[in-house]
Amino acid sequence: MPKLQKYIHKISKYKKKLRKILNRIGISYSEEFELIDETPKKLLLPCYLGILFCGDFEINNLFNKIKIYLNTVYDSFFFDIRNLGAYNFTAELFSKGVKREYKEMKKSSGVIKIHPTNKFYQILINKRNEESLGMIIALTDLPIYSSSEDNILFLFGETHLKHRCCVVSSLKLRELGKNENNKLFETRIVKEIIHEVGHLILGSNHCPNEVCVMRFSNNVDEVDNKSLDLCDLCNTKLLGIQDSYNF
Protein backbone atom coordinates (compact mmCIF):
# COMPACT_ATOMS: atom_id res chain seq x y z
CA MET A 1 0.00 0.00 0.00
CA PRO A 2 2.69 2.61 0.86
CA LYS A 3 4.25 1.81 -2.50
CA LEU A 4 0.99 2.69 -4.19
CA GLN A 5 0.74 5.96 -2.29
CA LYS A 6 4.26 6.87 -3.34
CA TYR A 7 3.30 6.15 -6.92
CA ILE A 8 0.18 8.32 -6.68
CA HIS A 9 2.27 11.11 -5.17
CA LYS A 10 4.72 10.87 -8.05
CA ILE A 11 1.92 11.04 -10.59
CA SER A 12 0.38 14.12 -8.99
CA LYS A 13 3.79 15.80 -9.10
CA TYR A 14 4.03 15.10 -12.83
CA LYS A 15 0.50 16.40 -13.25
CA LYS A 16 1.50 19.72 -11.68
CA LYS A 17 4.56 19.97 -13.91
CA LEU A 18 2.49 19.17 -16.97
CA ARG A 19 -0.07 21.83 -16.06
CA LYS A 20 2.72 24.41 -15.85
CA ILE A 21 3.96 23.44 -19.30
CA LEU A 22 0.40 23.62 -20.63
CA ASN A 23 -0.01 27.09 -19.23
CA ARG A 24 3.24 28.15 -20.82
CA ILE A 25 2.29 26.98 -24.31
CA GLY A 26 -1.25 28.19 -23.88
CA ILE A 27 -2.42 31.57 -22.75
CA SER A 28 -1.60 33.39 -19.58
CA TYR A 29 -4.39 33.61 -17.05
CA SER A 30 -4.10 37.39 -16.90
CA GLU A 31 -6.18 37.44 -20.05
CA GLU A 32 -9.07 35.85 -18.14
CA PHE A 33 -12.44 37.52 -18.43
CA GLU A 34 -13.93 39.15 -15.42
CA LEU A 35 -17.67 39.20 -15.81
CA ILE A 36 -19.42 42.55 -15.71
CA ASP A 37 -23.15 42.58 -15.09
CA GLU A 38 -24.67 45.87 -14.03
CA THR A 39 -28.08 44.47 -13.21
CA PRO A 40 -27.86 40.94 -11.83
CA LYS A 41 -31.46 40.45 -10.78
CA LYS A 42 -32.84 37.31 -9.24
CA LEU A 43 -34.48 34.88 -11.65
CA LEU A 44 -38.23 35.36 -11.93
CA LEU A 45 -40.41 32.60 -13.39
CA PRO A 46 -42.03 32.23 -15.87
CA CYS A 47 -39.58 34.16 -18.02
CA TYR A 48 -38.35 34.85 -21.53
CA LEU A 49 -35.54 32.62 -22.74
CA GLY A 50 -33.24 33.44 -25.66
CA ILE A 51 -30.98 31.18 -27.72
CA LEU A 52 -27.93 32.58 -29.48
CA PHE A 53 -26.03 30.57 -32.12
CA CYS A 54 -22.25 30.96 -32.39
CA GLY A 55 -21.17 28.70 -35.21
CA ASP A 56 -22.20 26.84 -38.30
CA PHE A 57 -25.71 25.54 -37.60
CA GLU A 58 -28.92 25.11 -39.53
CA ILE A 59 -30.31 27.67 -37.15
CA ASN A 60 -34.03 27.71 -37.89
CA ASN A 61 -34.57 23.95 -37.95
CA LEU A 62 -32.44 23.40 -34.89
CA PHE A 63 -34.06 26.26 -33.00
CA ASN A 64 -37.54 24.88 -33.64
CA LYS A 65 -36.52 21.46 -32.36
CA ILE A 66 -34.88 22.91 -29.22
CA LYS A 67 -37.91 25.09 -28.56
CA ILE A 68 -40.39 22.21 -28.81
CA TYR A 69 -38.40 20.07 -26.36
CA LEU A 70 -37.75 22.87 -23.87
CA ASN A 71 -41.45 23.73 -23.84
CA THR A 72 -42.29 20.07 -23.27
CA VAL A 73 -39.87 19.44 -20.41
CA TYR A 74 -40.29 22.85 -18.77
CA ASP A 75 -43.98 23.24 -19.56
CA SER A 76 -45.25 26.79 -18.81
CA PHE A 77 -41.86 27.99 -17.47
CA PHE A 78 -41.34 30.30 -20.45
CA PHE A 79 -43.52 33.11 -21.76
CA ASP A 80 -41.62 32.58 -24.98
CA ILE A 81 -38.36 31.10 -26.28
CA ARG A 82 -36.73 33.48 -28.71
CA ASN A 83 -34.35 32.79 -31.56
CA LEU A 84 -31.58 35.37 -31.21
CA GLY A 85 -29.93 34.24 -34.47
CA ALA A 86 -26.24 34.08 -35.23
CA TYR A 87 -23.50 35.80 -33.29
CA ASN A 88 -20.30 36.60 -35.12
CA PHE A 89 -17.13 37.14 -33.15
CA THR A 90 -14.87 40.01 -34.09
CA ALA A 91 -11.33 38.76 -34.82
CA GLU A 92 -10.10 40.35 -31.59
CA LEU A 93 -12.74 38.78 -29.38
CA PHE A 94 -12.40 35.44 -31.13
CA SER A 95 -8.74 35.14 -30.17
CA LYS A 96 -9.17 36.50 -26.66
CA GLY A 97 -8.70 33.97 -23.87
CA VAL A 98 -7.96 31.16 -26.31
CA LYS A 99 -6.03 28.22 -24.91
CA ARG A 100 -4.06 25.94 -27.16
CA GLU A 101 -4.50 22.25 -26.59
CA TYR A 102 -1.77 19.85 -27.56
CA LYS A 103 -3.48 16.61 -26.58
CA GLU A 104 -5.47 16.44 -29.78
CA MET A 105 -2.53 17.31 -31.98
CA LYS A 106 -1.88 13.73 -32.95
CA LYS A 107 -5.37 13.35 -34.30
CA SER A 108 -5.50 16.66 -36.12
CA SER A 109 -3.08 18.59 -38.22
CA GLY A 110 -2.86 21.59 -35.95
CA VAL A 111 -3.40 22.81 -32.44
CA ILE A 112 -6.96 22.98 -31.18
CA LYS A 113 -7.95 26.41 -29.91
CA ILE A 114 -10.29 26.27 -26.96
CA HIS A 115 -12.39 29.19 -25.79
CA PRO A 116 -13.15 30.19 -22.18
CA THR A 117 -16.76 29.98 -20.98
CA ASN A 118 -16.50 33.47 -19.48
CA LYS A 119 -16.10 34.91 -22.97
CA PHE A 120 -19.50 33.48 -23.86
CA TYR A 121 -21.02 34.50 -20.52
CA GLN A 122 -20.08 38.16 -21.06
CA ILE A 123 -21.65 38.14 -24.53
CA LEU A 124 -24.73 36.46 -23.06
CA ILE A 125 -25.04 38.84 -20.09
CA ASN A 126 -25.00 41.82 -22.43
CA LYS A 127 -27.50 40.23 -24.79
CA ARG A 128 -29.78 39.13 -21.93
CA ASN A 129 -29.89 42.68 -20.58
CA GLU A 130 -30.33 44.19 -24.04
CA GLU A 131 -33.25 41.89 -24.87
CA SER A 132 -34.78 41.89 -21.34
CA LEU A 133 -34.62 38.11 -21.07
CA GLY A 134 -34.87 36.04 -17.90
CA MET A 135 -32.26 33.55 -19.08
CA ILE A 136 -30.13 32.94 -22.13
CA ILE A 137 -28.25 30.10 -23.85
CA ALA A 138 -25.41 30.09 -26.36
CA LEU A 139 -24.92 27.13 -28.65
CA THR A 140 -21.47 27.00 -30.22
CA ASP A 141 -19.51 24.59 -32.38
CA LEU A 142 -16.27 25.83 -30.84
CA PRO A 143 -14.49 23.83 -28.16
CA ILE A 144 -14.88 25.42 -24.73
CA TYR A 145 -13.01 25.24 -21.44
CA SER A 146 -14.31 26.22 -18.05
CA SER A 147 -13.23 29.61 -16.75
CA SER A 148 -13.82 28.45 -13.19
CA GLU A 149 -12.53 24.85 -13.20
CA ASP A 150 -8.85 24.72 -14.14
CA ASN A 151 -8.67 21.12 -15.21
CA ILE A 152 -11.73 20.67 -17.33
CA LEU A 153 -11.13 20.81 -21.05
CA PHE A 154 -13.70 20.22 -23.77
CA LEU A 155 -16.91 20.75 -21.91
CA PHE A 156 -20.27 19.80 -23.34
CA GLY A 157 -21.73 22.73 -21.51
CA GLU A 158 -21.64 24.96 -18.46
CA THR A 159 -24.07 27.19 -16.60
CA HIS A 160 -23.51 30.41 -14.71
CA LEU A 161 -26.35 30.47 -12.20
CA LYS A 162 -25.76 33.99 -10.87
CA HIS A 163 -25.78 35.51 -14.33
CA ARG A 164 -28.59 33.24 -15.58
CA CYS A 165 -26.78 32.10 -18.71
CA CYS A 166 -25.32 28.90 -20.10
CA VAL A 167 -23.25 27.72 -23.02
CA VAL A 168 -23.38 24.37 -24.84
CA SER A 169 -20.64 23.22 -27.22
CA SER A 170 -21.63 20.84 -29.99
CA LEU A 171 -18.04 20.04 -30.95
CA LYS A 172 -17.67 16.78 -29.03
CA LEU A 173 -21.29 15.83 -29.58
CA ARG A 174 -20.48 15.28 -33.23
CA GLU A 175 -17.92 12.59 -32.40
CA LEU A 176 -18.36 9.84 -34.92
CA GLY A 177 -19.85 6.61 -33.74
CA LYS A 178 -21.99 3.80 -35.01
CA ASN A 179 -25.11 4.87 -36.88
CA GLU A 180 -24.00 8.48 -36.73
CA ASN A 181 -26.44 10.83 -38.31
CA ASN A 182 -27.57 14.40 -38.12
CA LYS A 183 -30.70 13.52 -36.18
CA LEU A 184 -28.65 11.89 -33.44
CA PHE A 185 -26.31 14.90 -33.35
CA GLU A 186 -29.26 17.26 -32.95
CA THR A 187 -30.80 15.09 -30.24
CA ARG A 188 -27.54 15.28 -28.29
CA ILE A 189 -27.54 19.06 -28.61
CA VAL A 190 -31.13 19.20 -27.38
CA LYS A 191 -30.27 16.95 -24.41
CA GLU A 192 -27.35 19.12 -23.33
CA ILE A 193 -29.43 22.28 -23.69
CA ILE A 194 -32.25 20.77 -21.61
CA HIS A 195 -29.56 19.80 -19.09
CA GLU A 196 -28.05 23.30 -18.80
CA VAL A 197 -31.45 25.00 -18.66
CA GLY A 198 -32.25 22.45 -15.96
CA HIS A 199 -29.37 23.87 -13.93
CA LEU A 200 -30.70 27.40 -14.38
CA ILE A 201 -34.07 26.31 -12.99
CA LEU A 202 -33.21 23.47 -10.57
CA GLY A 203 -29.73 24.53 -9.41
CA SER A 204 -26.25 23.13 -9.79
CA ASN A 205 -26.85 19.54 -8.60
CA HIS A 206 -26.65 16.54 -10.88
CA CYS A 207 -29.07 13.63 -10.75
CA PRO A 208 -27.80 10.07 -10.11
CA ASN A 209 -30.60 8.53 -12.19
CA GLU A 210 -28.97 6.99 -15.29
CA VAL A 211 -31.64 8.01 -17.75
CA CYS A 212 -32.40 11.44 -16.29
CA VAL A 213 -31.36 14.36 -18.48
CA MET A 214 -29.86 15.99 -15.36
CA ARG A 215 -27.25 13.24 -15.04
CA PHE A 216 -23.71 14.46 -15.71
CA SER A 217 -22.24 13.10 -18.95
CA ASN A 218 -18.52 12.38 -19.28
CA ASN A 219 -18.71 11.34 -22.91
CA VAL A 220 -21.03 11.01 -25.87
CA ASP A 221 -22.07 7.47 -24.93
CA GLU A 222 -23.36 8.77 -21.62
CA VAL A 223 -25.24 11.52 -23.44
CA ASP A 224 -26.81 8.87 -25.69
CA ASN A 225 -27.74 6.71 -22.72
CA LYS A 226 -29.79 9.35 -21.00
CA SER A 227 -33.26 10.43 -22.05
CA LEU A 228 -34.52 13.86 -23.09
CA ASP A 229 -36.59 13.99 -19.93
CA LEU A 230 -36.36 14.67 -16.23
CA CYS A 231 -36.80 11.68 -13.92
CA ASP A 232 -39.70 11.55 -11.44
CA LEU A 233 -37.58 13.01 -8.65
CA CYS A 234 -36.38 15.97 -10.74
CA ASN A 235 -39.91 16.48 -12.04
CA THR A 236 -41.17 16.67 -8.46
CA LYS A 237 -38.52 19.33 -7.76
CA LEU A 238 -39.65 21.20 -10.86
CA LEU A 239 -43.26 21.17 -9.68
CA GLY A 240 -42.07 22.45 -6.30
CA ILE A 241 -40.37 25.39 -8.01
CA GLN A 242 -43.48 26.05 -10.05
CA ASP A 243 -45.48 26.07 -6.82
CA SER A 244 -43.10 28.48 -5.12
CA TYR A 245 -43.43 30.95 -7.99
CA ASN A 246 -47.20 30.51 -8.11
CA PHE A 247 -47.78 29.64 -11.74
User: Which residue numbers are catalytic?
Assistant: 196
Q: Of the two residues 133 and 231, which places its CB atom closer to Zn ion in the complex?
A: 231
- Residue from 165, 214, 220, 223 touching Zn ion (CB under 5 A): that is 214
C-alpha–C-alpha distance, residues 38 and 130, integer Å: 12
Query: At closest approach, how far in Å is the CB of 217 from Zn ion?
Result: 8
Question: Segment contacting Zn ion (CB under 5 A): 103-111, 126-134, 162-170, 212-220?
Answer: 212-220
Query: At closest approach, how far in Å is the CB of 194 from Zn ion?
Result: 11
Does residue 234 touch Zn ion according to CB under 5 A? yes
Nearest Cα neighbor of 98 from 131, 144, 135, 42 is 144
Query: At closest approach, how far in Å is the CB of 209 from Zn ion?
Result: 4
- Residue from 193, 212, 220, 223 touching Zn ion (CB under 5 A): that is 212
Q: What strands, in cross-sheet order, belong to the sheet with 112-116? A: 99-101, 112-116, 144-145
Integer CA distances (angstroms), 234 to 146, 195, 239, 240, in order: 25, 11, 9, 10
Does residue 242 touch Zn ion according to CB under 5 A? no
Q: Measured between alpha carbons, how far apart are the two ends of the chain, in Å?
A: 57
- Residue from 144, 231, 237, 238 touching Zn ion (CB under 5 A): that is 231
Does residue 137 touch Zn ion according to CB under 5 A? no
C-alpha–C-alpha distance, residues 201 and 192, integer Å: 14
Query: At closest approach, how far in Å is the CB of 24 from Zn ion?
Result: 31
Helices 182-202 + 59-73 axis angle, to 10: 50
The residues in 190-209 that bind Zn ion, with binding defined as CB under 5 A, are 207, 209
Nearest Cα neighbor of 245 from 12, 46, 24 is 46
Residues interacting with Zn ion, by CB under 5 A?
A: 207, 209, 212, 214, 231, 234
